[in-house]
Structure 1
Amino acid sequence: MTEPRTRLFLVTAPASSAEAARPAIEAALGAGDVACVLLRLAASSERDRKEVVRALAPLVQDRGAALLLENPRLVAHTGADGTHAAGADDALAAALDSMKPDRIAGAGGLGSRDDAMRAGEAGADYVMLGDAGFAAEGPAPADVLDEVGWWAEIFNVPCVGFARSLAEVEGLGLTGAEFVALGAAVWDDPRGPAAAVAEARAALDRAEAALAAEEVEA
């Protein structure tokens, strides 16, 4: 089976326990192709955070998805696949130093095109655009679409476009970006995370079909 052109990248809410987070993550992973899960962790002791990751890592990885964390120190002690750094400066440098060459080091929380380019030039495995550090308020969807389209057209470093609603997924898929990320749009969907992921995957499939048709016509 051919791998989709654009894959899903899920970002969890800060998890305080594996038991509370497991049902939603399991449902989401079972509903469609997911490439990565960024497991965000609630503030607690390092021991407790390690326990949460160790309990959830097999669930994610056995589904063929990469498990990413925001803290590089936890990655080495929990069997996670890599880290998601905030910004293009010290945090990314530390992630690259500790993750490479065997694990993933990506960058988000990039406030400008210059930040994104610096992250890519530094060696980030991906740049995430539109996430605004996962704050409740983020850039306008049209602005995110413009940034993702700019990156996907020019650069070889994979791009992750962050969608705050399911309605934004298809448009981001049409840019040709390698990944579309979803957070609360999945976990807070009243139908449940499985329905949200299935809808997102269907939107990306439509985008892929449209891009393929354009290539044939060209």
Structure 2
Amino acid sequence: MMEEENEGHDITEFGREDPRPPCQLYLITPPKIVVQDFVKTFRQALEGGAVAALQLRLKDVADDEILKAAEALLPVCEEAEVALIINDRADLAKKSGAEGVHLGQTDGSVAAARTLLGADKTIGVTCHDSRHLAMEAGEAGADYVAFGAFYPTATKQAPTQADPEILTWWVALSELPCVAIGGITPENAAPLIEAGADFLAVSAGVWAHPEGPAAAVAAFNRLFGTA
């Protein structure tokens, strides 16, 4: 059912193939950035290796600031073949020309986002530690589901604590890719990769890495076996 309803949503960066490809890195911006400085930091991160996606997640800023940030980041993402995803706001994803949107549980429906963005854009959904929410997201036509938080995180207040077993359960159930999020670093990522995560969503684990973002990206890619 879920596999049939998701046919037609071509998400090259997020698709699960047979045989299953290695886990990939999904970066999330810090909640506050100076745009030009962050563009430089992001370029440095890309020097460390492959990145599948960058989620623009800015909090307590005006819409035009989000759009300005997206405008600055989009050409860098396109050059590096990184999918730019806008957090929460399907309308801003549409205006910015981003690859898609990531929806929290209070950010509107997948159906409304799909109507606005079209069949070729990526829609991800936060499912916390809930199998039920993940099933609902898949049935609604999401392109990926995100579970977490797996570890304590200072980036945002996490309402739930997820167990890696939920990743294994999802991989056995669905073709839809799953993203693990929450406090992930190169040091604690291995159990999530082994459990079946298709993507690791990382913020401070890269941007605050003591050796710099490029070293962090390289470390993750070594874990994925893609370095």
Pick the TM interval, shorter chain.
0.7 to 0.9
Find the counterpart in structure 1 of residue 7 from structure 2: none
Partner of 1:40: 57
CA separation in 1, counterparts of 2:129 and 2:113? 18
Number of the residue aligned with 2:6 = none
> For 1:171 and 1:138, how far apart are their aligned partners in 2?
21
Q: Measured at CA, do residues 202 and 155 of structure 1 come closer, stay the same or move farther in structure 2, by a change above 3 Å?
A: same
Residues 135-164 of structure 1: per-residue CA shift (max 9 Å, x gap):
245655xx4311111111221111111252
Q: Which amino acid aligns with 1:68?
A: I
User: Which secondary structure does the structure 1 equivalent of 2:69 belong to?
Assistant: helix
Residue 94 (structure 1) aligned with residue 112 (structure 2):
yes
- 1:129 aligned partner: 147
Query: Is the 1:5–1:176 Cα contact (8 Å) retained in structure 2?
Result: no
* Pairing of 1:41-190 with structure 2 (within 5 A): 41-70=58-87, 71-87=89-105, 90-131=108-149, 135-137=156-158, 140=161, 143-164=162-183, 165-190=185-210
Letter of the aligned partner of 2:208 in structure 1? D
Please tell me the residue identity of whatever aligns with 1:148.
L
Distance 1:96 1:144 in 2: 30
How many pairs does the alignment contain? 203
Q: 1:135 to 1:144 in 2, by over 3 A?
A: farther
Deviates more, 1:125-134 or 1:74-83: 125-134
Q: Which amino acid aligns with 1:135?
A: K
Q: Which runs of 5+ in 1 are unaligned?
A: 207-218
State how far apart, in whole Å, the 2-side matches of 1:202 and 1:36 are.
18
The structure richer in helix per residue is: 1
Scaled by the length of structure 1, the TM-score of the pair is: 0.83
Q: Distance in 2 between matches of 1:139 and 1:118?
A: 18
Identity %: 32
Q: Is 1:8 aligned to 2:25, yes or no?
A: yes
Contact 2:111 2:141 in 1 (8 A): no
- Give the C-alpha shift of residue 58 in structure 1: 0.8
TM-score, reference length from structure 2? 0.80
Q: For the Cα contact (< 8 Å) 2:127–2:133, is it kept in 1?
A: no
5 Å-filtered alignment, 1:17-32, equals 17-32=34-49
**In structure 2, what is the equivalent of residue 209 of structure 1?**
none
Given that 1:151 and 1:159 are in contact with CA atoms closer than 8 Å, whether structure 2 keeps it comes out as yes
